[in-house]
A and B are shown apart, each in its own frame.
Chain A
Amino acid sequence: MKSQKIIFYFFITFFFFGCFTKSKKEIDKYQHYIGYINQEKVLLNDGYLCNKDEIYFTFKGAGSDGYKGTKKRFRDTILSKYKHQLYKDSGYISFRFLVNCRGEAGWFEISEMNLDLGEKNLDNKMVQELLDLTSKKGNWNVFGFNEKEGADYYMYLIYRIENGKITEILP
C-alpha cells in the first residue's frame, strides 16, 4: 500500500514539474542575432576580416552605403554581364554576405526560393553566375569612419528572376 502512495505522489510531482518548468531548449531557441553569418560555414570564407567580432550594419545590411558608386551602377553592371538567355528558372536568390575592410566580398550564405518565397533549388549555373558577379571586388565600398581604418560590414542582395531574367535587385 505504501508503494502505491509513493507512486501516486511521484506521479503528481512529475505532473506539476512537467507543467510549470520551461524547457531550456525552447528558451534558448535563438542563440545568435537574426542575420548572423557563421563565418566558418559559408562560401568564399577564406578572406581576411579586420575584426570578425565587430561587423557593421548587421541591423539591416549596408544598403546604399555598400555599393561602390551607386546601386544604379551596380545594377547596370550586373545586367550587362549576366547571361539571362542561358536560363529559364523563376524565383528569388538571396545572397547574405560580409564585405571586409578592403572592400572584398565573401562569407556568402545563399537561399534559393520560388516566386512564392518557398524553398526551391534553382539552376545551379544561374546561381553560380550571380554569385561570381556579385562577389566581384569592384562592386563594394570600403566602409570606415576614417581614411585609415576600414570596417567589415554585412550586406544582402536578393535577385528576383522571371524566366531566367533579373527583374529586380533588392532591397
Chain B
Amino acid sequence: MEKLQKYCLKLIVVLFLITACNTSDLKKDKRLEAEKVYSEAIKNIQGSPAFMNGIANAVKIDPTFDKAVRELSVAYVKRGMPLQWKPIFDQAVELNPEKWLGYRGYLYLWFYRDYKKAIQDFDAVDALTPNFIDNPQGHSVHYWRGIAYLGLKDYENSISYFQKHLKSQKEKLGEDWVEINAYLYLGIAYYETNELEKANLCFDNAIKYNDNKFADAKYYKSKIYKQKGDIEKAKIFIKEALEEFNLGYLNKRVYVEALRELYLDDYKELELSL
C-alpha cells in the first residue's frame, strides 16, 4: 500500500512537471510551431484538403493564432458558403478585433451587401484606434464607409466620408495617388443629389488620374450633359465611354459585382436615348 502511494506521488510529480513545461516553454513555442505548420499549409491550393487540414492543425497547436483562424474562413466566402464562413471569421474577430473587424466590414459590404453591418464594423474598428485611420483591405475606413453609405442611398453620409478620405489621401500622398474609384463614387453621390457641377468635377478627376480613360466616369458625364440639354457633348462622352468599356477601362471587381457596376446594355441604352 505504501509503495502504491509512492508511485502515485511520483506520478503526480511527473504530471506536474509536464504541465509546467507545457504552460511555460511550450506556450512560448506554440505560436512559432503553428506558424511553421501554417506556412507549409498555405503552399497548397486555397481551400484544398491539404490547405485546410494544415491550417486546422496550426490552429490546433495555437488556438489564439487569429491569422490562421481567419484563413480557414476565406475559401468559404469565395465559394458562396456564408453559413460556414461567418462563425470562423467571427472567431478571428474575437481573437484580434483591431485586425479583423474592418476586414469583416469589407466582406459584409462586398460579399453580402449588408451595408449596415459593414458600417457597424468600420465604426467599431475606428473607435478602437482613435488616433489612426484604419485601412482594411488597402483602403481607409472612410473610403469603405463612403461606399457603404452609397449602397444605403444615404448620399449625405457617403459624400462626407469620401471627402474625409480624399482630404487625408491628398495630405498624405498627393492628389494623383488618390484611388480613382473614390472620385467615381463621390461623383455618383453628387449626381444622385443633383449637384451636377460637383459631380462633373469628380468624374473629370477620375478620368484624369486614369490616363484619360474611364468608361464609368464618361458614362455619367454623358448623363450630366444629357440632363443639361447638351446632347452633342453627351454623344461624344457616351461614344468614348463605349470604346473604353470595350477596352476594359471600367469599374469591376474580381470576386463580386462592383457597386453600381455598368454593363454594355447600360451604355447602349443611354446611347439610344440621345
Mutual binders A and B: yes
How large, as a class, is the contact surface on chain B?
Answer: 35 or more
With an 8 A cutoff between CB atoms, is A11 at the interface?
yes
Contact with B along A30-65 (1 / 0, CB 8 A): 111111000000000000000000000011110110
Residues on the A chain within 8 Å of B11, using CB:
8, 11-12
With an 8 A cutoff between CB atoms, is A68 at the interface?
no
**Cα distance A100–B83 in the bound complex, in angstroms:** 26
With an 8 A cutoff between CB atoms, is A73 at the interface?
yes
CB distance from A154 to the nearest CB of B (A): 8
**Cα distance A170–B111 in the bound complex, in angstroms:** 7
Residues on the A chain within 8 Å of B53, using CB:
27-30
With an 8 A cutoff between CB atoms, is B57 at the interface?
yes
Q: Which of A30, A94, A168 contacts B82 (CB 8 A)?
A: A94
CB distance from A100 to the nearest CB of B (A): 19
**Cα distance A158–B82 in the bound complex, in angstroms:** 9
- Cβ-defined contact, A29 with B52, below 8 A: yes
- Cβ-defined contact, B257 with A71, below 8 A: yes
- Cβ-defined contact, A33 with B47, below 8 A: yes
Also in contact, A4 and B79, with CB within 8 A (given A70-B264, A72-B266): no
Q: Which of A8, A115, A167, A171 contacts B80 (CB 8 A)?
A: A171
- Cβ-defined contact, B265 with A111, below 8 A: no
How large, as a class, is the contact surface on chain A?
Answer: 35 or more
- Cβ-defined contact, B47 with A35, below 8 A: yes
Also in contact, A31 and B14, with CB within 8 A (given A92-B112, A94-B82, A170-B113): no
Closest A residue by C-beta to B151: A168
Q: Which of B45, B85, B256, B266 contacts A170 (CB 8 A)?
A: B256
With an 8 A cutoff between CB atoms, is B274 at the interface?
no
Residues on the B chain within 8 Å of A4, using CB:
3-4, 7
- Cβ-defined contact, B112 with A35, below 8 A: no
With an 8 A cutoff between CB atoms, is B75 at the interface?
yes
Residues on the A chain within 8 Å of B47, using CB:
33-35, 59
Contact with A along B30-51 (1 / 0, CB 8 A): 0000000000000001111100
Residues on the A chain within 8 Å of B80, using CB:
35, 61, 94, 96, 156-158, 171
CB distance from A30 to the nearest CB of B (A): 4
Most buried by B among A33, A34, A171: A34
**Cα distance A35–B77 in the bound complex, in angstroms:** 10
Residues on the A chain within 8 Å of B113, using CB:
160, 167-168, 170
- Considering only residues 97-148 of chain A, those with a C-beta below 8 Å from chain B are 111, 113, 115, 117-119
Also in contact, A117 and B257, with CB within 8 A (given A34-B75, A59-B46, A60-B78): no
With an 8 A cutoff between CB atoms, is B127 at the interface?
no
With an 8 A cutoff between CB atoms, is B56 at the interface?
yes
With an 8 A cutoff between CB atoms, is B225 at the interface?
no
**Cα distance A130–B84 in the bound complex, in angstroms:** 22
Also in contact, A26 and B263, with CB within 8 A (given A170-B113, A171-B111): no
With an 8 A cutoff between CB atoms, is B139 at the interface?
no
- Considering only residues 16-69 of chain B, those with a C-beta below 8 Å from chain A are 18, 45-49, 52-53, 56-57, 60
With an 8 A cutoff between CB atoms, is B76 at the interface?
yes
CB distance from B152 to the nearest CB of A (A): 11
- Cβ-defined contact, B111 with A30, below 8 A: no
Residues on the B chain within 8 Å of A64, using CB:
257
With an 8 A cutoff between CB atoms, is B81 at the interface?
yes
Most buried by A among B3, B80, B266: B80
Question: Interface residues, chain A, CB within 8 Å of chain B?
Answer: 1, 4-5, 8, 11-12, 15, 19, 22, 26-35, 58-61, 63-64, 70-73, 92, 94, 96, 111, 113, 115, 117-119, 154, 156-158, 160, 167-168, 170-171
Closest 4 CB pairs of A and B: A156-B80, A35-B79, A34-B47, A34-B75
Q: A4-B4, A171-B111 are in contact. List 8 more A-B contacts (CB 8 A).
A: A4-B3, A32-B49, A33-B48, A59-B78, A60-B78, A96-B81, A119-B83, A171-B110
Pull 20 A–B residue pairs with CB atoms less than 8 Å apart, ordered by A.
A4-B4, A5-B7, A28-B49, A30-B53, A31-B49, A33-B75, A34-B81, A59-B45, A59-B46, A59-B47, A72-B265, A94-B80, A94-B81, A113-B83, A115-B114, A156-B79, A158-B82, A170-B111, A170-B112, A171-B257
